[in-house]
Amino acid sequence: MPHANQPILPGATLGMLGGGQLGRLFTVAARGMGYRVMVLDPDASSPAGQLADVHLCAEYDDPAAWEQLTQHCAAITTEFENISAEILHTLAKYRPVRPGAEAVAVVQHRVSEKRWLQAQGIATAAFAVIGHADDVAAACSMVGFPAILKVARFGYDGKGQARVANRAEVETAFAEFGGEVCVLEQQITLQCELSVVLGRNVLGQTACFPVAENIHAQGILDMSIVPARISPALADLAQQTALFIAQSLHYCGVLGVEFFVTTEGKLLVNELAPRPHNSGHFTLDACLTSQFELQVRALCNLPLGATAQHTPAVMVNLLGDLWGQSQPNWQVLMQHPYAKLHLYGKIAARSGRKMGHFTCLADTVGDALALAQEIRHALPAMADSFRR
């Protein structure tokens, strides 16, 4: 196996566990830098698999696929946090795997993640663990209401979550989640939600992007505004907290840290994402280095690229709801020279499914936001006109 600190240079093959849009955008960055990419994903039409040099269409726990990865790839990374830490540990016996199994094991389970944050002295919303029905009463007493019940594993984009206002609703939601281990979390009255995306390599070098201000709709990120409309002191605190988390985890790769800002101005960590983050997509168009190039560099033990933002930006998610029976009319977006469209190559458009995003650039955040809202409001209307 290559020495842990040895740079992996263009011409090498990189392994990607996962074939979604994050894997696709990693693949674009890696191939543009001269690397080959081997993607492991069970979906024959996966977005990343479409663009990879090699698509291993197999389950993540397939030993034959592992053999292919470890035989041909100089290093391996992931695009989502639900790859078993045991799989990462096994692959790491043969090739560098970044992020490592130890860090991913902490982050991929809400209970371990929140307890780890608590142990580092990092503020979170009040929470309690519910492992079985007998825990409900004590958890409700500890957290209070209103609250949110979240499954400990495999929850994302609002899935596996339920807002609850009393003990009976907690009991009902816990039963609907099949008795899975859950976290009952205090519902915070928010001033805003923020995120910080950063990179860290095996030498401990770090690079941090500007803070994003995030607006959600039905539990799914709707838009990110960058730089966030917050004080410089709060932005600095968010970045320093994210860097402290990465260093304390001995993390290697790209990490997303989500924050709540309370109405009193207190900064709380919501959750961690051991991968590029949806709110970091603005970096493709508005920064000197994108979060996906940063992922390649961290994986390959290269110096991390400059993350300075050169233009204010607003990123808007495009969900399958826009498609209906037809493509949206992209003309409304394409007529704007400072709007950049990124589609993910997904074949089926479904409600709530992330099909792509667009980013608007302007001299000011206010101008970028106005353009983004103008385009977003026009797209579904144009799509409706197609159906008529």
163 located within any domain:
yes
User: Same domain for 245 and 381?
Assistant: yes
Cα dihedral across residues 297, 303, 308, 311: positive or negative: negative
Provide the CATH number for the domain around residue 138.
3.30.1490.20
Whether residue 383 has pLDDT greater than 90: no
User: Same domain for 57 and 92?
Assistant: yes
User: Same domain for 202 and 172?
Assistant: no
- Structure tokens, 220: 């799914």
* Listed residue (109, 113, 85, 112) closest to 97, CA to CA: 85
6 located within any domain:
no
From CA 84, how far away is CA 81, in angstroms rounded?
A: 8
User: Same domain for 225 and 80?
Assistant: no
> Residue 85: which residues within 8 A CB-CB, separation 6 or more?
101, 102, 104, 105, 108
Mean pLDDT of the chain: 94
Provide the pLDDT for residue 376: 93
How many Cα atoms sit within 13 Å of 157 on the Cβ side?
13
Q: Which of 141, 165, 186 is the last residue of a domain?
A: 186
User: Same domain for 316 and 233?
Assistant: yes
* Listed residue (35, 86, 45) closest to 344, CA to CA: 45
Confidence of residue 382 (pLDDT cuts 50, 70, 90): low
User: Same domain for 308 and 372?
Assistant: yes
118 located within any domain:
no
Confidence of residue 91 (pLDDT cuts 50, 70, 90): very high
User: Same domain for 217 and 334?
Assistant: yes
| 32-50 residue pLDDT tens | 999 999 999 999 999 999 9
266 located within any domain:
yes
Provide the pLDDT for residue 157: 60
Provide the pLDDT for residue 324: 76
Whether residue 386 has pLDDT greater than 90: no
Provide the CATH number for the domain around residue 322.
3.30.470.20
Q: Which of 81, 97, 113 is the last residue of a domain?
A: 97
User: Same domain for 137 and 213?
Assistant: no
| Buried-state track 236-249, b at ≥16 Cβ within 10 A, e below 16 | eebbebbbebbebb
Whether the Cβ atoms of residue 278 and residue 60 lie closer than 8 Å to each other? no
208 located within any domain:
yes
Whether residue 5 has pLDDT greater than 90: no
Provide the CATH number for the domain around residue 42.
3.40.50.20
Please state the domain count of the chain: 3
Q: Measuring CA to CA, how many Å separate 86 from each of 45, 82, 95, 108? A: 26, 11, 14, 12
The listed range with the strongest mean pLDDT (38-42, 154-158, 215-219, 323-327) is 38-42
From CA 219, how far away is CA 352, in angstroms rounded?
A: 10
Provide the pLDDT for residue 219: 87
How many Cα atoms sit within 13 Å of 289 on the Cβ side?
24
| 57-67 residue pLDDT tens | 999 999 999 99
Provide the pLDDT for residue 2: 52
How many Cα atoms sit within 13 Å of 134 on the Cβ side?
0
User: Same domain for 170 and 199?
Assistant: no
147 located within any domain:
yes
Phi, psi of 318 (to 5 degrees): -110, 110
Host domain of residue 29? 13-97
User: Same domain for 67 and 169?
Assistant: no
303 located within any domain:
yes
| Greater pLDDT, 218 or 213 | 213
381 located within any domain:
yes
How many Cα atoms sit within 13 Å of 245 on the Cβ side?
36
Q: Measuring CA to CA, how many Å separate 115 from each of 18, 157, 254? A: 27, 22, 22
User: Same domain for 130 and 249?
Assistant: no
Considering the chain, what percentage of its residues have pLDDT values greater than 70? 96
User: Same domain for 310 and 337?
Assistant: yes
H or E segment and range at residue 221: strand 220-226
pTM attached to this predicted model? 0.95
